[in-house]
Amino acid sequence: MPSARVGEARYARCHPPWRRSVPELPIRRRAAGRLRIWAGAVALTTVAALVVMPPASAAAVVPAPESATLVSANPANSTPHARDGETRAFAQIGDLVYVGGSFTQIRQTATSAWTVRRYLFAYDRTTGTISTTFLPVLDGAVNTLVAGPNGTLIVGGAFKNVNGVSRKNLVALDPSTGEIVDSWVGRSDGGNVRDLALHGNQLYVAGAFNWLNGTAHAGLARLNASTGAIDPTFTVDATTGRHDTSSYVWTIDVSPDGGTLVVGGNFLYLDGLPRNQIGLVDLTGTPSVIDWSTEKYVPPCAAPETFVHYVQDVKFGGDGSWFVVGSNGGAGWPAAYCDALIRFETAARGSGQLATWADFTGNDTITSVEVADNVIYLGGHFRWLNNPNRSDNAGPGAIDRLGIAAVTPATGLPVNWNPRRSGGSSLPSGASSWGSAVPVLWRGSDGLYFGHNSDGMGEEYHGRLGMFPLAGGRTITPKNAPTETTGNLYLSIGAATLAKVPFDSANLGTPTTVSQPNYVGAGATWRVADRIYWSRAVAGTPTGSRIDISLFNGGAIGASWEASGYNDWFNAAAMTGAFYLDGRLYYTRTGANALYYRYFEIDGNYLGATEFALPTTGVTWSAVRGMAWVGGRIVYGATDGTLRSVPFDPTAAPAVDGTAATVIAPAAPGLSWSTPSTFFSVQ
């Protein structure tokens, strides 16, 4: 049969040797109050390239933060260890966890003797004890595992023989003994299997093959999961490799409803239609390529001879309405989505699709992604996230995340979870502290399993694999601006003094004066849940100001603390008004006539490194002084002392139409709405 087999050397090219070197590691953590001193204060207006949101015929997607459950940042102590190569796949059947990869030896503990066990083994997830009855013998690496129907373990990889019998690249095993299930007929005689995805009794197969079960299929096929028989109705091929190489599919995932397949890899066409590295397939009827494409994976990034393709992993999130893509590629962003985590919307249609959000590492690889419990986990050899402004260094906004991270689906910003891919001083002799890849992150029944090509995680020894347990994790409860339409507007009227003005979203009541001794040196202020965030003048900081937090429930404003030391590059004092809504900090700033936003993650109080300008008309934003969001409207003051409101819809273009603005109140003696220190609170 013809073959377009891509061997281990080809797959290795996606993790090139020059990127496997140990980078200069960042500092371990940055506590609030610790400052990075840049060469001079970084002005708000010059930190990052401004991104202007273009007008759109369809509504923009503005995901709202949702409740999420994080796994513990402390890896389980009971998992066994592997040696050499890497762990690439996990599956679970009952209490047994199956581990596949290119490793050659395993052991129970850090002091146990090594045992030769190549490419595949199992252990009890409750005790960590390695199985002595599951003993398959393979002659090549395992790339992917699936717990199949009828008590089978389906294995895909780069092998020719299993238990001394010819079973090329695809086989079903008895999960108790590792014996071949002879009745299962799936074979990949034409090349390696890279990925498997199961939905119901439909098994999707991806890899570097041109033939499956003796039938011509290029890179993609669908089997009956119970029997291994080919599904003749699935005929979507991935063809024509980039840069004159052989084509292959590297990664796939199926939406939870089984209706959509996302495909990533080294190809230019899906079913004959142009789809460079990535595409979507409709599975609801006869499988067909969806009218969805993006040009952001067309450019070659750093070096096409090294990064033949740079889509590394794909995963649907939540209900399948969105998916994420992790990539490598080196330099080339933002023209291309190189070295980035990207969110796309599944229902979008047409060419030229752009990210809902993008999180750039600053020239470091992402090799795996997993989505579970409203959290996106990612692994690789990155050192930072939120780092679009530097290459191979930490730029303004960069957040230290060494090789493993968790981000929110709403914005792509990290949450406060940072175990670090490091063994610290606990590594035994001969162990590797750092490697080029985390090939797999996988959510099992009891936690997040990780496979990597090094031996340290969470400052502990975890040779080639481990697990972050659900036990000991925590729930993230989203915080937002007040949703009520009746409350109080607060306005600074002097040092440590606020006017408290009743407000029902249309009319003002009689103001009272409130002394707030902790509210000194205040600028733009915004309310979120039980606290206020505010720009505070602080001598000795890089910009002379910072974002602080104070607890506030209508009484005394509490003593403030720095929101995050990662935000010290940001000139908070330049904001002339601000409010928070659904993961975004909206603001105006000195000398600029636009309404801007940055992503802002409340869980870690991290500020996005990229500034966006919303499309608006009819409002002179350069004159705005103080803002609040109340009941779907922006309530804002101005240099003329007048208080106005205008409807606000961040999904629309324009998001603000100034012709719909109304005057709430003109300036009055002792109460001029012309200060950035304005916010709305129910209390």
Residue 545's pLDDT band (cuts 50, 70, 90): very high
| Bridge partners (DSSP) listed for residue 222 | 204
Residue 51's pLDDT band (cuts 50, 70, 90): low
Quick: pLDDT tens for 219-229. Answer: 999 999 999 99
Same domain for 368 and 250: yes
Same domain for 412 and 271: yes
* 171 neighbors 186 (Cβ within 8 angstroms): yes
Please report whether residue 205 resides in a domain: no
Whole-angstrom distance, CA of residue 664 vs CA of residue 149: 65
Quick: pLDDT tens for 170-209. Answer: 999 999 999 999 999 999 988 999 999 999 999 999 999 9
State yes or no: cis peptide before 654, omega within 30 of 0.
yes
Same domain for 675 and 561: yes
Residue type, 461: Y
Instruction: Look at residues 418, 452, 477 and tell me which one is the last residue of a structural domain.
Output: 418
Please report whether residue 513 resides in a domain: yes
Residue 306's pLDDT band (cuts 50, 70, 90): confident
Same domain for 398 and 250: yes
pLDDT at 2: 36
Same domain for 493 and 409: no
Please report whether residue 378 resides in a domain: yes
Residue type, 240: T
Whole-angstrom distance, CA of residue 108 vs CA of residue 128: 8
User: 552 Cβ partners below 8 Å, 6+ apart?
Assistant: 527, 530, 531, 532, 558, 681, 683
Please report whether residue 180 resides in a domain: no
Residue 678's pLDDT band (cuts 50, 70, 90): very high
Instruction: Look at residues 418, 442, 461 and tell me which one is the last residue of a structural domain.
Output: 418
Position 620 pLDDT exceeds 80: yes
Whole-angstrom distance, CA of residue 265 vs CA of residue 230: 22
Same domain for 353 and 500: no
Domain that includes residue 609, residue range: 487-681
pLDDT at 305: 83
Range from 33-47, 565-579, 650-664 carrying the lowest mean pLDDT: 33-47
What average pLDDT does range 292-315 have in this prediction? 94
pLDDT at 670: 82
Count of beta carbons in the 10 Å neighbourhood of residue 572 = 28
Strands 288-289 and 278-282: antiparallel
Please report whether residue 602 resides in a domain: yes
Same domain for 546 and 409: no
Please report whether residue 341 resides in a domain: yes
Quick: pLDDT tens for 422-476. Answer: 998 989 999 999 999 999 999 999 999 999 999 999 999 999 999 999 999 999 9
Same domain for 379 and 281: yes
* 69 neighbors 470 (Cβ within 8 angstroms): yes
User: 487 Cβ partners below 8 Å, 6+ apart?
Assistant: 502, 503, 630, 680, 681, 682, 683
Same domain for 671 and 540: yes
Please report whether residue 151 resides in a domain: no
Domain count, the chain: 2
Position 36 pLDDT exceeds 90: no
DSSP character string of 83-152: ESS-EEEEEEETTEEEEEES--EEESSTTSPPEE--SEEEEETTT-PBPSS----BSSEEEEEEEETTTE
Give pTM, 2 decimals: 0.92
HSE, CB side, 13 Å, CA atoms: give it for residue 151: 7
Whole-angstrom distance, CA of residue 407 vs CA of residue 370: 11
Position 21 pLDDT exceeds 80: no
Q: What is the mean pLDDT of the chain?
A: 92
Same domain for 371 and 509: no
Quick: pLDDT tens for 228-242. Answer: 999 999 999 999 999
Same domain for 675 and 571: yes
Please report whether residue 186 resides in a domain: no
What CATH number corresponds to the domain at position 642?
Answer: 2.110.10
Quick: pLDDT tens for 247-257. Answer: 999 999 999 99
User: Which of 584, 559, 654, 561 lies closest to 412, judged by CA?
Assistant: 584
DSSP H or E run through 579:
strand 575-581
Instruction: Look at residues 382, 401, 418 and tell me which one is the last residue of a structural domain.
Output: 418
Same domain for 649 and 523: yes
More confident residue, 330 or 543: 543
Strands 611-613 and 50-52: parallel
